[in-house]
Structure 1
Amino acid sequence: MLKVDELDVFYGDAQALDDVSIEIPKGAIVAIVGANGAGKTSLIRTIGGMVKPARGRISFHGNDIAGMPSYKVCDLGIGQVAEGRQIFPNLSVSENLDMGAMLPRARATRAKNRDRVLEMFPRLNERLQQAAGTLSGGEQQMLAIGRCLMGEPELVMFDEPSLGLSPALVQDVLASIRDLNRDGLTCVLVEQNVAVSLKLASRAYVLENGRVTLSGTGDELLADDRVRQAYLGM
């Protein structure tokens, strides 16, 4: 579904991504793991059109989208649940969901997608008129995921979805990602909980200093001594 070839990204003179190549098969959960500053968010933002690459190709369904504006990338069917949730705090829960359905591709299915989101996250249904900024951290993450789903995406990139959540809520959020994938959604997961993300993923990549240093199935990387020592404390 998505293929990244030989991607280079710079912020000024600092190189954030160096010759990065990854593949995201249709229907998969693909994990991107690595330490802080490894380039994970830069990769997500570049695929999403928020950062323009210096070199490389990003193919979605065979079409090159590298450097395409983010609103066009979204309307092609690539959604993003950003690190830190990035909801509209002064708007109500209902209004936040409506914002997710503003894409041309999603307008005809707005009511169906809204019902789907509220069925998945019943707590949002109880708080539709509440200001989004007054929700708990877990509820805000549910809203961020729900708003993304309102855009009718084929692929969703989750950037640190469990950040700042209690262990119980982490399990709820990751379970919702697994359920969405079982329903056919292709997922890219950037997650600080390396063990959990690799268990969920059918394929995974390790980023270090902006380069892909390891790749394989989630199980293969879980069993790799380098991954176990660097990220799992084993």
Structure 2
Amino acid sequence: MLTVTDLDLFYGDAQALDGVSLTVRAGTTTAIVGANGAGKTSLIRTIAGILRPSGGSIRLGEREIAGLPSHTVCNLGIGQVAEGRQIFPSLSVRENLEMGAVIPRARADAARTYDRVLALFPRLEERLGQAAGTLSGGEQQMLAIGRCLMGKPDLIMFDEPSLGLAPALVQELFRTVRTLAAEGMTIILVEQNVAASLKLASHAYVLENGRIVLSGSGAALLDDPAVKQAYLGL
């Protein structure tokens, strides 16, 4: 579904991504793990069209999307749940969800998608008129996911979705990711909880200093001695 080949990204003279190549198959969950500063968020933002690569290719199916503006990438079916949630705090929950459906691909099915989101997150239905900025951290993350789903994505990229959440809410979050995966959603998961993300993932990549240094099934990397030592404290 998504193929990244020899992707390079620079911030000024500093190279953030160095020849990154990966493949994401339709209907699978792919984890990208690595330490802080490894380039995970840079990779997500480059795929999303927020950052412009200096070299390499990003193909969605047969279409080259590297360098396209983010609204175009979004309308082609790539959604992003950004690190830090990035909701509109002064808008209500309902208005935030409606904002997710403004892209052309989402408009025709907006009412049906809205019902689906509220079924997935009943707590949001209880707070539709509430300002999003007054929600708890867990509720804000639900809203961020719900707003992304309103855009009718074929692929969702999660960037550190459990960051700052209480343990019970983290488990709820991963249940949501599993539900979406079971429904056939293609998922890219960047997550600080390496063990949980590798358990969810059919395939995974380890990113270090802007380069892919390991790849394999989630189960294989979970059992890899180097991964255990570097990321799991084992």
2:109 alignment partner in structure 1:
109
Write the mapping of 1:1-234 to structure 2, written as runs, cut at 5 A. Answer: 1-234=1-234
Q: Deviations over 1:80-127 (max 9, x none)?
A: 000000000000000000000000000000000000000000000000
1:62 CA drift (Å): 1.2
Q: Give SS of 2:99's match.
A: helix
Q: Deviations over 1:54-84 (max 9, x none)?
A: 0000000111000000000000000000000
Q: Deviations over 1:119-147 (max 9, x none)?
A: 00000000000000000000000000000
Supply the AA of the counterpart residue of 2:106: A
Supply the AA of the counterpart residue of 1:185: M
TM-score by length of 2: 1.00
Q: Distance in 1 between matches of 2:180 and 2:233?
A: 30
Q: Deviations over 1:5-55 (max 9, x none)?
A: 000000000000000000000000000000000000000000000000000
Q: Give SS of 1:214's match.
A: strand
Q: Distance in 2 between matches of 1:13 and 1:74?
A: 29
How many residues align? The count is 234
Q: Where has structure 1 moved over 6 Å in runs of 4 or more?
A: none
Q: Deviations over 1:177-222 (max 9, x none)?
A: 1100110110000000000000000000000000000000000000
Q: Give SS of 1:140's match.
A: helix
- Cα RMSD, aligned residues only: 0.3
1:3 CA drift (Å): 0.3
TM-score by length of 1: 1.00
Q: Distance in 2 between matches of 1:171 and 1:233?
A: 21
Q: Give SS of 2:205's match.
A: strand
Supply the AA of the counterpart residue of 1:12: G
Q: Give SS of 1:170's match.
A: helix
Q: Give SS of 1:213's match.
A: strand
Q: Give SS of 2:109's match.
A: helix
Identity rate, percent: 69
Q: Give SS of 2:58's match.
A: strand
Q: Distance in 2 between matches of 1:55 and 1:124?
A: 41
Structure 1 stretches of 5 or more lacking a match?
Answer: none
Q: Distance in 2 between matches of 1:95 and 1:40?
A: 30
Supply the AA of the counterpart residue of 1:204: A
Supply the AA of the counterpart residue of 2:156: V
